[in-house]
Amino acid sequence: MSSSAESAIHVSLLHNALRLHDNKCLSSACSPGASLVPLYIVTSPAPFTQTTVDSPISKSRAGFILEALGDLDKSLRKLGSGGAVVLQTRDWCDAASAAASTTTSTSASPSADDDDSSVASSVDSSAPAAAASAAPTRCDAEYAATLAAYLSSLSVASPSAPIHLHYERAPAPPLIRRWRHVLASLPPGLQVTVHAYDTHTLNPLDDYLKGKAGLLPNVLPASYGSFCKVFDKLPPPAEPLPAPTSLPPFPPSAVPPAPKSSAVPSLASLANISPTCGGTSAFPGGETHALERLNKKVTLSPSWAATFSKPATAPNSLSPSTTVLSPYVTHGCLSARTFYYEVLKAQQKHKGAITAPPTSLVGQLLWRDYNNLWGHVVGLPFAEMEGNSYCRQVPWDTDADALALWKEGMTGYPFVDAIMRQLKAEGWIHHLARHMVACFLTRGDLWISWEEGAKVFEERLVDADWSLNAFNWQWLSCSAHFYQYFRCYSPVAFGKKTDPNGDYIRKWVPELKDVPKKFIYEPWNLPAAEQKRLKCVVGVNYPARLTKAPDHTPVSKANMEKMAAAYKVHNGLGAKKPAAGGGGGAKKKAKAS
């Protein structure tokens, strides 16, 4: 039996914070004599999923997360920690039910953290009501049961050691729902103090709802411009924490009581990873690569970073024209605040004019907080059209064949196909490339719901983020945030501006690699004899254009009319102004300003 003087055990969840730097979950565990379990839980039904359903994700994203976990495991060991403990729910769920049925007595005893940016509570106080009340998915349930079982076994091994559970609060409603469930499932009687940190965004999201810049409290800034004014009125984001220089070891009497292995699993060992995509990430996962990339793109290129202007970057350059830091920020290999302060330093180093939001690099990071705020305030209905009062209700078509051809890069429009094939192979595509294919799928050509496109992105993007994805799909489909549906991307003209030779198409659509420059964006115009000679006969070697969009110009014009009609109906319903509380009864009572 352990003595009552047992020192504290800190269980730090690594989930959104796969890094040492600016990681409060780790630095808060560094007290003398304490021990540390850096924990990661892999849900078996659908590993790493963060959705409202337990859907599979691509190899590129799963591979990226495993690389990130492996990288962090190494870094942890170098600092004296025992390394990452990775639990697979399939190994733990029986143990979990056993633990749940044998544990008795009172509920967990979370206590308040004295740091302003951290809240400790058995329920997530900032959870929108919709997310809080939603039923957990199977992944949520298994995650909760596994964590409960693991904490119980720690407590059995060291009965008098106080247990602290640290996690970075994820703002996306599906994860808020998961955490509600996790915290509600902690075994009664288990003494655990829970610490949650709002470090995923530049500022805690609630700070944007404090009634700054002329808005009433709890009013969601309705435009990016008004959001930026609020940002400017707040104190600067907290300075990032340095990486710890040493870390506590595993608890002496509680060496990971995993029933099976607790090492970082291999990609091949995971079930339910979508088989068609990627496999090797073009951008390797992990904090080491994140910091190298930040150094190369920002620290060592201060003028590039300080004068960055998003519209001037190219969707189809062969090497990316933006930072490609999004996968690292999404999975927490790079702290958003570290990124932000490094950009500010670059601006100071640069002699000359600097760019400003919305197009600057700081502007991009502000878009990220703004998108997160929307998702957080609207709650689970944010990812849907119906039940989301902020979203235009558009009578989209259902067309499984056209959707499948779009998804696989087989539409017959070379620029669209090249982008969708890059997405499939690498998991990352440029922002304006995302614009092109999202517009094409929805209001531009195929008239298919943005929700369908968002699902494909959510599966395949290495940087998939619930709120950013929904916000941007709504924008591109002119369903919310942006309404100029008469401005449409042409799959023939748009790519030519930055890649007249079509090198990007030649790379990703090799069937067309020999097509002359003049026809590379529209191979159907290449004379038949030439198509034959070059072995790129449209309809044989490369698909003919989809029956739903046989010619972009008339199709997109007809779709604009349909959009005008949908807007009329929407406005007629008086649904233009969202009701207080947002779609689905968000707790914040948010209103559009």
Q: Among 118, 155, 330, 360, which residue interacts with ligand FAD (rule: CB under 6 A)?
A: 330
With CB under 6 A as the contact rule, which of the stretches 91-99, 225-233, 298-306, 323-331 interacts with ligand FAD?
323-331
As a dihedral over the C-alpha atoms of residue 150, residue 153, residue 159, residue 160, rounded to 10 degrees, the angle is -20
The β-bridge partners of 40 are 86
Nearest residue (CB) to ligand FAD, 161 versus 298:
298
Distance separating alpha carbons of residues 409 and 421, to the nearest angstrom: 5
**Cβ burial 345-382 (10 Å sphere, 16+ → b, else e):** ebbeebeeebbebbebbbbbbbbbbbbbbbbbbbbbbb
- Exactly one of 85, 329, 373, 419 binds ligand FAD (CB under 6 A); that residue is 329
CB-based contact 417:512 (threshold 8 Å) = no
State in angstroms the smallest separation of the CB of 323 from ligand FAD. Answer: 3
Site string for ligand FAD, 450-489 (x = CB under 6 A): -------x---x-xxx--xx--xx--x-------------
CB of 205 to ligand FAD, least distance (A): 14
Of residues 357 and 412, the one with the C-beta less far from ligand FAD: 357
Determine, following the binding rule CB under 6 A, whether residue 367 of this chain makes contact with ligand FAD: yes
| Closer by beta carbon to ligand FAD, 435 or else 591 | 435
Of 391 and 515, which has the nearer Cβ to ligand FAD? 391
Shortest distance in whole angstroms from residue 303 CB to ligand FAD = 16
Q: What is the C-alpha separation between 119 and 11, in angstroms, rounded?
A: 16
Q: How many CB atoms are located within 10 Å of the residue 7 CB?
A: 17
Which tokens go with 92? 């733990």
Q: Does 323 participate in binding ligand FAD (rule CB under 6 A)?
A: yes
Burial (Cβ within 10 Å: 0-12, 13-18, ≥19) of residue 544: middle
Q: Please state the closest distance from residue 322 (CB atom) to ligand FAD, in A.
A: 3
| 434 lies in the binding site for ligand FAD (CB under 6 A) | yes
CB atoms within 10 A of CB 490: 19
Q: Which of 24, 200, 368, 407 binds ligand FAD (CB under 6 A)?
A: 368
Identify which of residues 251 and 495 has a Cβ nearer to ligand FAD in the complex. 495
Q: What is the rounded distance in angstroms from the CA atom of residue 165 to the CA atom of residue 42?
A: 17
Complex with ligand FAD: residue 363 or 584, whichever CB lies closer: 363
The SS3 call for residue 163 is strand
Residue 365 as a binder of ligand FAD (CB under 6 A): the answer is yes
Position 364 contacts ligand FAD (CB under 6 A): yes
Min CB(438)–ligand FAD separation in Å: 4
Least distance in angstroms from the C-beta of 386 to ligand FAD: 20
Query: Does the protein bind ligand FAD through residue 179 (CB under 6 A)?
Result: no
Q: Which of 138, 229, 233, 431 binds ligand FAD (CB under 6 A)?
A: 431
Q: Does 326 bind ligand FAD (CB under 6 A)?
A: yes
Q: Give the chain's largest Cα–Cα span.
A: 88
Q: List Cβ neighbours of 65 (8 Å cut-off, separation of 6 or more).
A: 18, 48, 285, 331
Pick 209 or 476: Cβ nearer ligand FAD:
476
To ligand FAD, the closest distance from the beta carbon of 478 in angstroms equals: 12
Q: What separation in angstroms does the CA of 419 have from each of 413, 463, 553?
A: 10, 16, 20
Selected from 131, 325, 418, 538, the binder of ligand FAD by CB under 6 A is 325
354 phi and psi angles, rounded to 5 deg = -115, 160
Choose between 181 and 435: whose C-beta lies nearer to ligand FAD.
Answer: 435
Using CB under 6 A, count the residues that bind ligand FAD. Answer: 29
By CB atoms closer than 10 A (0-12, 13-18, 19+), residue 432 is buried
Which residue, 361 or 419, has its beta carbon nearer to ligand FAD? 361
Please, what is the angle between helix 414-426 and helix 431-439, to 10°? 120
Q: Which is nearer to ligand FAD, 457 or 485 (CB)?
A: 457
328 and 281 Cβ atoms separated by less than 8 Å: no
Residue 86 has what DSSP assignment?
A: E
Verify binding: residue 438, ligand FAD, rule CB under 6 A. Answer: yes
Residues that bind ligand FAD (CB under 6 A): 310, 322-326, 329-330, 361, 364-365, 367-368, 371, 430-431, 434-435, 438, 457, 461, 463-465, 468-469, 472-473, 476
